[in-house]
Chains A and B, each alone.
Chain A
């Protein structure tokens, strides 16, 4: 028994370079908590896909992310009290767990006049600005606006157009959209200058914009290498490291260097034909955010030969493009974000798939990453991460004979994820994957 245990290696072969990258993310977080506590101007922001954060960074404003903090509170088992508080404040209970956690926190902080002592990881300090983004989950604008009950910080919203797939390819649409974003971002800069009494450091902005583009490029290329068999990197490494790109806290140069190391390691594995899972039997897609508290399910699945080779579009880097001719940093920023949002649209239109983000990328990846199946994890209180999953499941099966299973959970109410039930469903999915693999071969598909 003990012998067997010793022999048995961890089913997922984690990347070594992942650890320092993660440590850097955590360190960045701690540093920012300290800075904000020391009185540095702080903004509460939300994931805005590089559209607004570089501007805050260039103005030397510290950023905290209540969305991230919701996950932190959940992980520390501290979310429930904040959720209850939000309910007691009269906010409907069906709404986003991250938002309700944040609202409960803000209410508590106002009541106490200071950071609640039970708040994990030092809490979130009082902001001087609430920065919203209309990207994807536009209800987040309402969330920050609702914080006006508890915080006297002004609210700003950065715009992001969401064209339809076909509409996006009409002449001029792209240019107009980027131009609109640029105009709004310039307004934002003016506003920030007024708010902080500081001047924008344009050189710094230029540098940060380039760093983020470079980070995203390397992160994209690195993930592209996961197309090979066996796939060298598991989704778990993706999730551990995605924050350095999504929430650009800390020093971007350092993050860039660490991503580069990670790239090298993955490259090495490709050359050596080393997979993240020893016997890669099923190449899998994962949909939306994982069940953070039940990640060991991936080890158990890995033992059955499941390798998660690609995941959620919303957290991936934009498709690379040439930014070198865009001299204005604001325009470069807007272009990158717009590219992230609509990068798959052109191909989606060719295939007449009209949900160009969220759903279409899964359809493309199923083919390009040669996937056997998908595991979708819809979040009960997050409609944005859930809306498209039934569609994606349906399209994957009817288009490519790639079956998907749906295992429900939540971002904050961790009890909702049913581990045992998911494992039972997984067994059924295996049978389906075996069956559909044959069908794909009969259809003459490449995998």
Chain B
């Protein structure tokens, strides 16, 4: 999904957009940018700094800088929850663990090799279950005895799910098992960071209450979830954009490292793919 957040000099959000997913990063970036500007009622010229983040960050031609989603996420998380020390982000293609200190990223781990342990795992399996992604959370709450999904490989897990279905295992127990399988994997990975509370859970999957519970169980810790877990990265990028602008202004340096056509410092904006 392509997202945009625009904030002003006081750090207040002027607009936030969650746009569609797709392979054409460049076109989508332009589109969400236009939408965000419209929502904020601003023109592009009024934006003082644009930070691009996420996988598509190199495909945002109008950005001043590219900063990785790890740094942006840490920033965003710290802005919601100043007490956060660890953040776990499960997105569509990857899962990340972040260690945060004084609002800054200090260490991280990432899984980007395989679908298991990411949102993709659920996306692949919902079809098999005949459910919609949004239904997973509530369905799992009805579970009385979650099943064990022993395979970490998505293809095999799918076969396991089919076996459970054919044996008449209740759907909620299967869904709870799948949540648990992802949580186990992600926690295993995050343990490299020596997890400390508070733990914040972000990313699209954090909207799923079943996943939140599974993560809590696996960590043995409470987890905090922001209202808009999807926008954490984009918001962090916007905050970094603001900080960079203020720093440049204070040092009397130009804000834009490269030549941009129109500039006048009033607003801060960010893009993320």
Contacts and interface: CB of A to CB of B under 8 A. Distances in A.
Interface of A: 84, 87-90, 415
Main DSSP-derived SS at the B contact region: helix
B192 A415 contact: no
B113 to A, nearest CB: 11
Q: For the complex, would chain A's binding face be called helix, strand, loop or mixed by DSSP majority?
A: helix
A88 B150 contact: no
11 contacts: A84-B188, A84-B191, A87-B188, A87-B189, A87-B191, A87-B192, A88-B188, A88-B191, A88-B192, A89-B192, A415-B151
Interface residues of B, number: 6
A345 to B, nearest CB: 41
Nearest to A418: B156
Contacts of A89: 192
A90 B189 CA distance: 10
B192 A90 contact: yes
B188 A415 contact: no
Contacts of A87: 188-189, 191-192
A89 B188 CA distance: 11
B165 to A, nearest CB: 19
Closest 8 CB pairs of A and B: A88-B191, A88-B192, A84-B188, A415-B150, A90-B192, A87-B188, A84-B191, A87-B192
A351 B232 CA distance: 67
Contacts of B192: 87-90
Interface in B157-191: 188-189, 191
A90 B107 CA distance: 13
Contacts of B151: 415
A415 B191 CA distance: 23
A417 B192 CA distance: 28
A15 to B, nearest CB: 35
Contacts of B150: 415
A84 B186 CA distance: 12
Contacts of A88: 188, 191-192
Contacts of A84: 188, 191
Nearest to B184: A84
Nearest to B152: A415
Contacts of A90: 192
Task: Pick from A87, A88, A90 the residue with the most CB of B within 10 Å.
Answer: A88
A447 B4 CA distance: 74
Interface string B187-208: 0110110000000000000000
Nearest to B195: A88
B109 to A, nearest CB: 10
A20 B138 CA distance: 58
B78 to A, nearest CB: 24
